[in-house]
């Protein structure tokens, strides 16, 4: 779904991925997929390796082709919802400072997860939630399709060239580039192919992201 009531804001906008960009959910994802794999008698590490690079339905087809994909997805969703209620989440260093300092209406979340889980995780970590969250239910095509980022720009009343995408994963980077936006990569030791700028951590990117959001005029990629 997409949250509504977004008012026109500044001329520059920042669109954030969530997992791996603002919130460190690696251990949570490994635990959820490990429990899911156990239910089907599968090797947890092997399943997790596949899940890291594919969407859930693709993962099921690869690791459990004899199982009903709808039932597999229901089981996964139950485990993910339970993890939001009981798991331990950590925001990346700099996330709270960054989101708290961004101008109102200047940013949105664009996630392959679902909004209720994002809100749960943000509540657990104390991060503010923006007016707009574009989640998996809002679009027919997920990343690396540009559709999620283009929808976020449309809802914000922004031109793609005035948007900065902050991502950590290749599929998200590709989505932002295909949307015609500036894309910066964070939280990775080496740059993802195609990013306009790379930062080893979110903390290192905070000053530049804030400078981008507070500036006016057409976005620069340098």
Q: Which long-range contacts (CB under 8 A, 24 or more apart) does 54-59 make?
A: 55/112, 55/142
Chain centroid to Cα 66, Å, comes to 30
- Minimum mean pLDDT range among 13-22, 37-46, 51-60, 187-196: 51-60
Residue 108 forms beta bridges with which residues? Answer: 15
Active site positions, annotated: 17, 19
pLDDT in tens, 35-52: 999 999 999 999 999 988
- The Cα–Cα gap between 98 and 16 comes to 11
- The Cα–Cα gap between 128 and 130 comes to 7
| DSSP symbol at 67 | S
pLDDT band per the 50, 70, 90 thresholds, residue 34: very high
Query: In the predicted model, is pLDDT for residue 220 greater than 60?
Result: no
pTM score, whole prediction: 0.87
């Amino acid at each position: 779904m997409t949250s509504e009531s977004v008012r026109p804001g500044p001329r520059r906008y920042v669109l954030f991925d969530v997992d791996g960009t603002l919130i460190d959910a690696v251990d949570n994802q490994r635990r959820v997929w490990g429990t899911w794999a156990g239910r089907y008698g599968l090797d947890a590490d092997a399943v997790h390796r596949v899940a890291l690079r594919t969407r859930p339905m693709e993962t099921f087809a690869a690791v459990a082709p004899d199982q009903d994909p709808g039932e597999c997805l229901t089981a996964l969703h139950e485990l993910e919802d339970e993890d939001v209620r009981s798991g331990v989440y950590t925001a990346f260093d700099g996330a709270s400072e960054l989101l708290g300092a961004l101008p109102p209406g200047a940013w949105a979340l664009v996630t392959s997860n679902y909004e209720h889980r994002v809100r749960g995780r943000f509540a657990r970590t104390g991060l503010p939630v923006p007016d707009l969250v574009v989640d998996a239910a809002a679009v027919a095509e997920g990343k690396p399709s540009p559709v999620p980022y283009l929808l976020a720009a449309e809802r914000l009343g922004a031109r793609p060239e005035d948007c900065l995408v902050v991502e950590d994963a290749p599929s998200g980077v590709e989505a932002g580039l295909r949307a015609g936006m500036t894309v910066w990569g964070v939280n990775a030791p080496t740059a993802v192919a195609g990013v306009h700028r790379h930062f080893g951590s979110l903390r290192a990117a905070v000053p530049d992201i804030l400078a981008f959001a507070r500036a006016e005029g057409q976005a620069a990629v340098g």
